[in-house]
Amino acid sequence: MIQNRLRRIDNTAFMTWTMLGLAVVMFILEVFSGGSQNISVLVRYGAKVNYLVAQGDWWRLITPIFLHVGFLHIAVNGVMIYYVGTQIEHIFGHTRFLVIFILSGIFGNLASFAFGSDNSVSAGASTALFGLFGAFIMLGLSFKHNPFIQTVAKQFGVLVLVNLVFDLFANNIDIWGHIGGFIGGVLIAFCLGVPKRFGNISKIYQILAIILVLLLSIVLYWIGLNG
């Protein structure tokens, strides 16, 4: 009976639900602390502000993933976390999903730190979500003879392009965070690979991806500090 319960738990996307739950809890805290659109509240809870990161608040590259600005923001991102996250967690597994979600979010925030405005306040899971999109693209690049994966990868590729085009014409959108999250998602997915039941990823690609993630992270952080 215990094994059956553990198997049922393992078959659920509990990491996705955990990430979604954290975002919801933080949103509730924002609301009861003065409002989720209150700049001082967002900054207090860890929104990314470039000059504060440059002054040593490195943790602001992580905490913005779980903060959102307004109900529409958390609603849209929440639906996407559930929809995309459950699929990625099923394919990559719980641990890999968590690593892709967090590290691509950080990578996106690093890109925003490097190229974004010093005084802008950034928050949201979009950097991590674009990382999940990137993980699907990685699957498309790795399994070119799988028609299902190719179809899904193309769909997410179109979704990424549409979102980035929308970002160009929208106000208060951190396009650099989205681009960085997407690139980070592709590279980090290559670093981690997939469970053996889905196939093998070239070791050369994995090594190159690890080197690129490390180098780009250092370069982006350096640009943010000295830009």
What is the average pLDDT score of the chain?
A: 89
Quickly tell me which residue has 């690609």 as its tokens.
205
Q: Which tokens go with 168?
A: 């160009």
Cα dist from 227 to 51, 123, 126, 127, 179, whole Å: 11, 21, 24, 21, 19
Catalytic residue among 36, 104, 122, 126: 126
**Is 178 an annotated catalytic residue?**
yes
Average pLDDT (155-162) is: 84
Give pLDDT tens digits for 61-107: 999 999 999 999 999 999 999 999 999 999 899 999 999 999 999 99
CA distance 136 to 143: 11
Taking residues 44-62, report their average pLDDT: 95
Catalytic residue among 36, 112, 178, 217: 178
How far CA 77 is from CA of 10, 65, 83, 145, 224, in Å, comes to 24, 10, 10, 32, 26
Ramachandran sector of residue 46 (left: φ over 0; alpha: ψ -120 to 50; beta: rest): left
Q: Who has greater pLDDT, 219 or 156?
A: 219
80 by DSSP, 3-state: which? helix
16-29 pLDDT per residue, tens: 999 999 999 999 99
Chain-centroid distance, C-alpha 54: 22
Spatial separation of the C-alpha atoms in residues 182 and 59, rounded to whole Å: 20
pLDDT, tens only, 165-211: 877 777 778 889 999 999 999 999 999 988 777 677 788 889 999 99
At the top level of CATH, which class does the domain 2-226 belong to? Answer: mainly alpha
Residue 6 has pLDDT above 60, yes or no: no
Active site residue 90: no
pLDDT of residue 7: 60
In a 3-state reduction of DSSP, which class is residue 123? coil
Query: Domain coordinates of the chain in residue numbers?
Result: 2-226
- Which pLDDT belongs to residue 3? 54
Measured on CA atoms in the order 73, 78, 62, 174, is the torsion positive or negative? negative
